[in-house]
Chains A and B, each alone.
Chain A
Amino acid sequence: MEAVKKERELIVSVSPHIRSEESVTKIMWTVNIALLPALFMGVYFFGLRALFVTALCIISAIASEWLVQKMAGREITISDGSAFLTGLLLGMNLPATAPFYIPIMGSFIAVAITKQLFGGLGFNIFNPALIGRAFVLITWPRAMTTWIEPTAALTGLDAKTTATPLGILKEEGLEQLLEIFGTKMNLYAELFVGHRAGSLGETSVIALLIGAGILLYKRYITWHIPFSFLGTVAVLAWVFGGKDPETGKLVLFAGDPLIHLLSGGLILGAFFMATDYVTVPTVRKGQIIFGIGCGLITMLIRLKGGYPEGVMFAILLMNCFTPLIDRNLKTKPFGFVKKKEGK
């Protein structure tokens, strides 16, 4: 008896010894909640069909996950919130006018192809929601680039179509943009609140920043990727974004970084999609490289490319580099000596 009692006093177990309260499920649902303010603003500006598109995305994402896991004989994990999050993010990246097949196809590609076929949560190379969006953008380019003016009327049935601020900036220039929005201050204010054409969840910078603040406060994301991403975009927009209004020639150090920061899907992408745990580097230094790379590609596409917006392609392209970055910046064990090449 004595021996048994002593055994209980000394617990021998394998690490980890301290467990955190956090779990994948909890993090996923927190991110979902953090996205709600932006979704609310999207519904406010673009009407109930914005909610319809998002709901359809979420339902089809969860259905796709269930279907593939059922077919593959895997454990059904639809309640962990990750399929919900993919659907929500995809929905927020679609125009509110998207016809019903776009959310369904996009979610299926995102969850079934990009995530489940690669092995499920944690094994995908690319951000599922962004692959889904890239697929529908390439497949149905017209429906995916038909934007409506924000009406702030719940039905929004008679909304006029228009171009996004970035589209106007690219095609017609800053002057045209200022003509529509009035003064520059008004332009900033409208962009900040989200009163502009665009994907239904990307427009409201303030709502997105509230969500990002929650994630930063909870330490679910760190500053490294979003801020290096935004910083690179700002610097490049300032250096290369300026144009001579008369000749249209490039004027260095005359660009307007704020317009580039506040428009497009940059805030949504930088805080919610370039910070996806699975598809970005885990090393801090690598995360900064990842963010800078995203910023570079984004600005390259925005200023020189065929599309007005490049955040999606930037994040997807940098996803490819994630294993490379991680492998080369891996922390070396203390006292580790690199093996000599050759002899």
Chain B
Amino acid sequence: MNHEHKISNWDLIKNGLFGENTIFRMAISLCPAIAVTTSLKNGFLMGAAVLFVQTMVNITVSLLRNFINPRIRIPVFMLIISGWVSVTDMTMAAFAREAYRQMGLYIQLIVAFASILARAEMFANKNKVVPSMFDGIGMGLGFMFALVVISFFRELLGRGTIWGYEIVATKPLLIMLLPTGGFFAVGILMAFFNWIDIRFYGGKGAGGAGGH
């Protein structure tokens, strides 16, 4: 894993945003990506919460990586993650009440996100603090980006609004608000990003994600 150190911080962020995007590339943490993305506001707040938790968890794990016994690392990671999730949860409960009422459950569920534990285990546990922080920012931004794009289309097509403001007076495609529509949105956007990757960057699409 030594070569990771030579990668610039910008590359780490780009990797999180595109190369190993949680939703469109890894296809993990799809449950929140479908559950909370019925409105742009919720998608954005959820993404912001994950960005914060991911960054702080990566920093903490990286700081503590020499003190954690490898045998019990996963429980320790879980404790760290749940600590930061509690911070996020309480902060949102205090300052964003309306949104918290709608998605409080999913904020608590961040504890169980595969993407956060995976980065703690795969990256922060093996790298220094600064690269770990940028990896967390990249991964969090990638997740947020995905959620914002998904919820933008779902809110626009399902409700005819964006961030609560009316764009068209009808509800063009009600199905987009249902979980079915969420999967449609994720699938179509995934295909779109694969197409861009194959067409303009000579990639292999999500199937070749390991090569990035």
Encode contact with B along A114-142: 1 for CB under 8 Å, 0 otherwise. 00000000000000000000010011110
Encode contact with A along B168-212: 1 for CB under 8 Å, 0 otherwise. 000001110010100000000000000000000000000000000
Q: How far is A135 from B175 in the complex, measured between Cα atoms in Å?
A: 7
Encode contact with A along B80-103: 1 for CB under 8 Å, 0 otherwise. 000000000000000000000000
Report chain B residues within 8 Å CB of A140.
174
- Decide if the interface of chain B is mainly helix, strand, loop or mixed: helix
Distance (whole angstroms) from the CB of A193 to the closest CB of chain B: 35
Q: How far is A140 from B172 in the complex, measured between Cα atoms in Å?
A: 8
- Decide if the interface of chain A is mainly helix, strand, loop or mixed: helix
Q: Which of B173, B174, B175, B178 has the most CB of A within 10 A?
A: B175
Distance (whole angstroms) from the CB of A125 to the closest CB of chain B: 15
Report chain A residues within 8 Å CB of B174.
138-141
Q: How far is A140 from B175 in the complex, measured between Cα atoms in Å?
A: 8
What is the chain B residue whose CB lies nearest that of A101? Answer: B172
Q: How far is A141 from B173 in the complex, measured between Cα atoms in Å?
A: 10
What is the chain A residue whose CB lies nearest that of B173? Answer: A139
Report chain B residues within 8 Å CB of A139.
173-175
Report chain A residues within 8 Å CB of B175.
135, 138-139
Query: How many residues on A have C-beta within 8 angstroms of the other chain's C-beta atoms?
Result: 5
What is the chain A residue whose CB lies nearest that of B157? Answer: A139
Report chain B residues within 8 Å CB of A141.
174
What is the chain B residue whose CB lies nearest that of A135? Answer: B175
Distance (whole angstroms) from the CB of B33 to the closest CB of chain A: 20
Report chain A residues within 8 Å CB of B173.
139
What is the chain A residue whose CB lies nearest that of B178? Answer: A138
Distance (whole angstroms) from the CB of B94 to the closest CB of chain A: 38
Distance (whole angstroms) from the CB of A319 to the closest CB of chain B: 16
Q: Which of A135, A138, A139, A140 has the most CB of B within 10 A?
A: A139
Which chain A residues numbered 250 to 273 have a C-beta less than 8 Å away from chain B? none
Encode contact with B along A138-159: 1 for CB under 8 Å, 0 otherwise. 1111000000000000000000
Report chain A residues within 8 Å CB of B178.
138
Q: How far is A135 from B173 in the complex, measured between Cα atoms in Å?
A: 10
Distance (whole angstroms) from the CB of A90 to the closest CB of chain B: 16
What is the chain B residue whose CB lies nearest that of A113? Answer: B184
Encode contact with A along B134-177: 1 for CB under 8 Å, 0 otherwise. 00000000000000000000000000000000000000011100
Which chain B residues numbered 24 to 53 have a C-beta less than 8 Å away from chain A? none
Q: How far is A141 from B177 in the complex, measured between Cα atoms in Å?
A: 13
Q: How far is A46 from B174 in the complex, measured between Cα atoms in Å?
A: 27
Q: How far is A140 from B176 in the complex, measured between Cα atoms in Å?
A: 11
Report chain B residues within 8 Å CB of A138.
174-175, 178, 180
Q: How far is A141 from B174 in the complex, measured between Cα atoms in Å?
A: 9
Q: How far is A260 from B174 in the complex, measured between Cα atoms in Å?
A: 30
Q: How far is A11 from B196 in the complex, measured between Cα atoms in Å?
A: 55
Q: How far is A140 from B178 in the complex, measured between Cα atoms in Å?
A: 13
Report chain A residues within 8 Å CB of B180.
138
Report chain B residues within 8 Å CB of A135.
175
Q: How far is A172 from B178 in the complex, measured between Cα atoms in Å?
A: 29
Encode contact with A along B1-34: 1 for CB under 8 Å, 0 otherwise. 0000000000000000000000000000000000
What is the chain B residue whose CB lies nearest that of A105? Answer: B173
Distance (whole angstroms) from the CB of A335 to the closest CB of chain B: 43
Distance (whole angstroms) from the CB of A8 to the closest CB of chain B: 52
Distance (whole angstroms) from the CB of A101 to the closest CB of chain B: 10
Distance (whole angstroms) from the CB of B2 to the closest CB of chain A: 43
Encode contact with B along A180-199: 1 for CB under 8 Å, 0 otherwise. 00000000000000000000
Q: How far is A138 from B175 in the complex, measured between Cα atoms in Å?
A: 6
Q: How far is A139 from B177 in the complex, measured between Cα atoms in Å?
A: 9
Q: How far is A189 from B174 in the complex, measured between Cα atoms in Å?
A: 38
Encode contact with B along A272-313: 1 for CB under 8 Å, 0 otherwise. 000000000000000000000000000000000000000000
Distance (whole angstroms) from the CB of A268 to the closest CB of chain B: 24
10 A-B residue pairs with Cβ-Cβ distance under 8 Å, sorted by A, are: A135-B175, A138-B174, A138-B175, A138-B178, A138-B180, A139-B173, A139-B174, A139-B175, A140-B174, A141-B174
Given contacts A138-B174, A138-B175, A138-B180, 7 further A-B contacts (CB under 8 A): A135-B175, A138-B178, A139-B173, A139-B174, A139-B175, A140-B174, A141-B174
Give residues in B with beta carbon < 8 Å to A. Answer: 173-175, 178, 180
Top 7 nearest A-B pairs (CB, nearest first) are: A139-B175, A138-B175, A139-B174, A139-B173, A135-B175, A138-B178, A138-B174
